[in-house]
Structure 1
Amino acid sequence: MRIEQAINQRKFRDEHHKVVVNLLYTGNWLRDALGTNLKAHGLLPQHYNALRIIRGKHPEPLSAGSIKEVMLDKASDVTRLLDKLEKLNFIQRRLCPHNRRKMDINITTQGLLLLDQLDEPMDGFYKDLIERLTEDEAKTLSDLLDKMRG
């Protein structure tokens, strides 16, 4: 569906305005589509992103600051996200033995199992995307988005 139909708007000021609206709309669409797989587990996309970052360094611990640096949503309240993940027993926080002002964050076995469960439905989302965009189209789109951000 074209953006004009999706938001019931016939004209845009110009193509630059249209692309910004389209990116915002598509970003929300992606968030909602991916979030459907997470809702059953009481998670938001930001929780999933944090868990994947922590799993990526497993078994090494991470600090909250190093997680925030690579989060997709830079506005996320990492402390609050980690509080929830710890409450759900998906992560564990401990004082760093070398720096008592820093917390070491590790993923738990339960967190690893959750990500294993989520891998299949998330992969299904990407398989659907492969049917819509060729590899070359995906690369071009990614390159254009990089260029747009400067």
Structure 2
Amino acid sequence: MNVEDILKTDKEIPLKSRTLIHFLLVNNRVNEALNTALKPHGVSLQQFNVLRILRGQNEKPASLATLNERMVTKMSNTTRLVDKLLLKEYVERRVCPSNRRKVEIRITKEGLSILKKMDISMSEAEDRLLQNLSDQEMEQLNVLFNKFE
């Protein structure tokens, strides 16, 4: 992916700007591929993330604060995401019996079932996105990514 070719410019873009533009272009390509993989399942990338977090709870409930804290993409509308998953019956929401101010969210059997199918689609998308990188190159990228604050 050559930034100058994509932007259709003959001028060489300064290194820092080219690097950040590259990040944006790669981010767009990754989001597009992952959203395309999830589209047949009727779930957004953020909803998929919520379902994965809930599955990782191992049947323990999560609060909205827990979901917000663990989301890959931080957002303020986690309630809306959960509401959409409730309508699909992928999650259930209950008021905590011991603390009526706390809401507990769990993944349902239906949610676990559809998540298994989404995992396959996502794995295939990851394979396509990363097919030109060796394991060593991915390790190098992760080392570099860890330098960001």
- The size of the alignment, in residue pairs, is 149
- Measure how far apart 1:13 and its partner are: 4.3
Give the corresponding residue for 1:139: 139
Please report how far the alpha carbon of residue 3 of structure 1 lies from its aligned counterpart in structure 2 after TM superposition: 2.4
Moved over 4 A (4+): none
CA-CA distance at 1:104 after TM superposition = 0.6
Q: Which runs of 5+ in 1 are unaligned?
A: none
Q: Which sections of structure 2, spanning at least 5 residues, go unmatched?
A: none
Q: Is the 8 A contact 1:46 1:76 kept in 2?
A: no
1:75 maps to amino acid: M
Which has the higher relative contact order, 1 or 2, with Cα contacts under 8 A spaced 6 or more apart?
2
Q: Deviations over 1:2-56 (max 9, x none)?
A: 2222332343542111111111111111011010111122221111111111111
Distance 1:9 1:93, change over 3 A: farther
**Counterpart for residue 122 of structure 1:** 122
d(CA) in 2 for partners of 1:119, 1:52: 9
> Percent of aligned positions with the same letter in both sequences?
36
Deviation of the 1:66 alpha carbon: 0.5
What is the alpha-carbon distance in structure 1 between the residues aligned to residue 130 and residue 28 of structure 2?
19
- Please, what is the CA RMSD of the aligned residues? 1.5
Give the TM-score, by structure 2 length: 0.92
User: 1:101 corresponds to which letter in structure 2?
Assistant: R
